[in-house]
Amino acid sequence: MSSSITDSIIVSNLFARFSLGTSLLLTAALNEQFYIALLQLIIAISLLTALASGLLLLRRSILLLCWLVTPILLLHALFTPGELLVKGMNIPISVEGVQMGAWFAFHLVVIFLSALVFSRLLGKQEWIRLLINIPMIGGWILPYALLFESGLKKNRGIVNREYAKWNSSDRKIKQLPDHIINSLTDMLGRNLDDTDELWHNWDQRVSSITNNRLDNTGDNLMVSVMLAMAAIFVWVLYLAGRG
């Protein structure tokens, strides 16, 4: 198989995954039907489990979602006027508030997991490749994409190091601001070093990203977005017609 045919297959697969993620995320954001949202949730969990090769990421996501969903449920249940859920209670929890809060919380879970699937459908290098091939603004994004690629791992190491120091200390509350300031200071210094290194090795860094770049990648990206948006637009019109 020739190199050009192989590159075309890789790019087609890339944009197919991008279209899938875009459609899944936009449908999750715009949908207002419970059964469709439930189907999307099942699809998102299945894809996320397959893409992450296990349940660890899903468990962490559920733990994070608990912190996001709980305030939504409580605020809607307590401050939405309507029929009391249990009459005679001192805490005014309304039936309408519980229903509205449950729907918003469920909707947020579907959107969050769909976005997580979207982020996992493409690798880091593929995201950078897509961003730098966006027409008109790709050249402006390129240096930031390169700095993000080099700084992500270093900054994560700085945060993990400071977290380990803070976790092993006795006065956690008092020392927390110092560890946060140290993390930000070290990140700023590392980012300045990365910027200087990128400036001196610009040609080499750019060629490592754009060696496999095809001339029609930007056009493929725009077509992919347009097809995904068209599918969502038709779906929204269908739901509006039923309503």
Domain boundaries, the chain: 1-122
- Strand partners of residue 67: none
pLDDT at 220: 53
Sequence-distant (6+) residues with CB within 8 A of 175 are 166, 169
Distance, CA of 167 to CA of 106 (rounded, Å): 34
Answer whether residue 101 shows pLDDT above 70: yes
pLDDT tens column, 25-37: 888 888 888 888 8
pLDDT at 106: 92
Better pLDDT: 242 or 133: 133
Largest CA distance in the chain: 76
pLDDT at 10: 44
Residues 161-180 have a mean pLDDT of: 82
Kindly report the backbone phi and psi dihedral angles of residue 31, in degrees, each rounded to the nearest multiple of 5, phi listed first: -70, 145
The residue type of 126 is E
Answer whether residue 9 shows pLDDT above 50: no
pLDDT at 218: 45
Q: Are 143 and 198 in contact (CB under 8 A)?
A: yes
pLDDT at 57: 80
Count of other CB atoms within 10 angstroms of residue 16:
12
